[in-house]
Amino acid sequence: MEDLKTGTVVVEKVMGKSTATRCFSKYPLKFILPRKVGSSQTDAVWIYALTYGGGIVSGDSISCEFTIGDGCTAVLTTQASTKVYKCVGSRCSVQIYEARIGIDALLVVIPDPVTCFSTAKYSQKQVFRIMSNSSLLIVDWITSGRHESGEKWDFTHYKSTNHIYLEGDEPLFLDTVLLEQGSTVTIAERVQDYQVLAMVIILGPKLKHVQTKVQEDVKNMMSEQLQLPATSLRRYSAPSTSHSLIKPSFLASCSPFGPQGSGVVIRIAAMTTESVYRFLQQQLASLEPLVGVLPYC
């Protein structure tokens, strides 16, 4: 791998406030930590991860570590979609994030989606080590590509792995999504009309109210989507001119995991990026008191 990029951020309590006590990044990876996001009463550190080239180049390897200390709150996000450029030869771009989340701490990972260019090869892995009362929210999503250039699911390889371990090395959530062009069936043929795939993980006591809202809203929304005609009102769908039953433009499911259902994973397939943004805006709005601003607004 070429152009190795590494980064480290440590968030700790300093005089009662969540503070980044260490922030290191190696060119062309860069972290931006604004001093103030939202109300002065908000106790959260925002971390923007970006690359100077505006995306991930073929063969890049990015490795980052984050430590969120006891009682702290941190938000990890991006300034725009993560662009993965065309593959040169057989070189795969790799991004690895590892995070440790302390007692009564909260980490919110809310990036914009990954957008892979034609022929791109990309693999990302995120590993989170939490305590029994840590809280964690992860949004992990990908679009079909550059629509304006006619690229839809034209990349060669995409792999996204999310592992959550409880108090050391006890597996709590292990998940991998793999999209790869087949010799007989392409990604586009398998995904069909859906242009966005997303996963949202919500875990921990500080996010229980978010879990409850999402589970109820997804249940109600999908009851409408799957039982009523296509002309019925849909909260997250683009209007349809058809008067027949058609494939829903937004699909979502919820599954609990962990001890006593302490976490929930939401999986989404949508025909437009905008519909996923709207869903995330509405479902994560109650995070504002914890993180300072409305996510994805």
> Does position 92 have pLDDT exceeding 90, yes or no?
yes
Tell me the percentage of the chain whose pLDDT exceeds 90: 75
Non-local (6+) Cβ contacts of 134 within 8 A are: 101, 102, 103, 104, 105, 106, 107, 203, 204
**pLDDT number for residue 242:** 46
- Yes or no: say if 139 and 198 are a contact pair by the CB < 8 Å rule: yes
pLDDT digits 0-9 by tens, 159-214: 999 999 999 789 999 999 999 998 899 999 999 999 999 999 999 999 999 999 99
Report pTM. 0.91
CA distance 201 to 167: 18
- Yes or no: say if 141 and 158 are a contact pair by the CB < 8 Å rule: no
CA distance 80 to 82: 6
pLDDT digits 0-9 by tens, 216-263: 999 999 988 777 554 444 555 555 444 445 789 999 999 999 988 899
pLDDT digits 0-9 by tens, 272-292: 999 999 999 999 999 999 999
